[in-house]
Amino acid sequence: NQELQDVVSRVTKIAEEDHLTKSYNRRYIMDVLSRERAFADRTGRQFSILLFDIDHFKSINDRFGHLVGDQILTDFARRVKAELRGMDTVNATDHKLSFGRYGGEEFIAVLPYTGIQGAELCAERIREVIAADAFIDDFRVTVSVGVAEYQLGETVPQLLTRADQALYQAKRDGRNLVRCSEY
């Protein structure tokens, strides 16, 4: 029985985890968002998302190669997870902070029980942590962040679109910024 449980545990981890960054994969994060939406619709509890995009990442890959890019992605994910873990609270429910790779150099964090103001503070703190310390070989990286709070009745794609619009506003405004979605 223990051997079977170990195999199931390993297969589950493979199915949920991005192999490079060891954060959740997009499929798992989309499931988390669907569950959070259903929970919010039932209870009226708020939640927010943070959509991260590493600034000028394509030029990093083009100039220094994909191995350096992969190391930066891995280190970025590690740093963000460490910051999010510091916020996590002991919670008897299934609703915990989730962080995953959304695609390429984009990542997403799901913040249960968090309104737009708390999510913006969290995003700003993470943005500062990323910009403050060099990555490999004294390489500096910045991140732009889009923040959106779930509005009752909206779909997950609508929520993601609002966060994405805020993210691209941060990019248009000069990068290394946090921008929040308007309702």
Q: How far is CA 52 from the centre of its chain?
A: 6
Q: Which string of DSSP letters, residue by residue, matches 51-95?
A: EEEETTHHHHHHHH-HHHHHHHHHHHHHHHHHHHHHH----SSS-
Confidence of residue 89 (pLDDT cuts 50, 70, 90): very low
Give pLDDT tens digits for 15-49. 788 989 999 999 999 999 999 999 999 999 999 99
More confident residue, 89 or 137: 137
Instruction: Say how far apart CA 133 and CA 164 lie, in whole Å.
Output: 26
Angle, to 10 degrees, between the axis of helix 26-43 and the axis of helix 156-172? 110
Q: Which residues are catalytic?
A: 105
pTM over 0.85: yes
| pLDDT score of 127 more than 80 | yes
**What is the average pLDDT value for the chain, to the nearest integer?**
90
Report the run of H or E that residue 106 belongs to, with start and end: strand 106-112
